[in-house]
Amino acid sequence: FANLDAAVAQIQTNTSARVPFLADCFYSIALSSNANRYMGTVTAGLNTSTPEEVTDNTQWKIVPSGVTGTYYIQNRETGNFISVAQKGQRAKAASSDIAEAVPFILIPDAPGEFFIQHAETAGLNLYNNGSTNRVQAGEQTGNNAKWLLRLEESLLAQPEISTNEQITIYHMQRTDN
């Protein structure tokens, strides 16, 4: 992790720094306004909750879609991709078939914060509905639509990751366990 450590050190001094995004790792996705509220999946769809510890259910793999700058988001526990993200509706990770996955763009906002935007519908972001804690899709741009992606080193998909497998996105945050 020497390269990642150097990149994190660079981010701390340079707000426009880029750091490696590791395609074969798992990340927690938490609300930037409440970093203890993680995105996870339940039978009815995506939720946010405050688990006592990060679990497989709150871990996500960011999978390149094959189109530059767009990604699929896959849950570690179920293997399902986010496959439903329609305006005004609860998002769901309902299928393990990548052909049914919704492509997303990770749009940086403040350092370490991202909007998770539907790649095919401009302005359609995933957001936390504060009254129900459901993750929904809508034209939200407030704090409830800003997410933190944190590498969970204890939950790496593979222990060896080559530099060739890295993708670059802006302002990724890292947590140490």
d(CA 23, CA 36): 24
Q: What does 150-177 look like in DSSP terms, one character per residue?
A: EEEGGG-S-S---GGGEEEEE--EEE--
Residue matched to tokens 């259910």: 57
The residues of the chain scoring below 50 in pLDDT are 1, 15-20, 155-177
pLDDT value for 176: 38
pLDDT value for 151: 83
> Count of residues for the chain?
177
CB count, 10 Å around CB of 10? 12
pLDDT value for 112: 78
Which tokens is 62 given? 């960011």
pLDDT value for 2: 58
pLDDT value for 39: 96
Q: Which residues contact 146 (CB under 8 A, 6 or more apart)?
A: 31, 32, 33, 109, 110, 113, 114, 115
User: H/E element holding 9?
Assistant: helix 2-13
Secondary structure of 64-96 in the HEC alphabet?
ECCCCCCEEEEECCCCCECCECCECCECECCEC
pLDDT tens for residues 38-89? Answer: 999 998 999 999 998 899 999 999 998 989 889 999 999 999 999 998 999 9
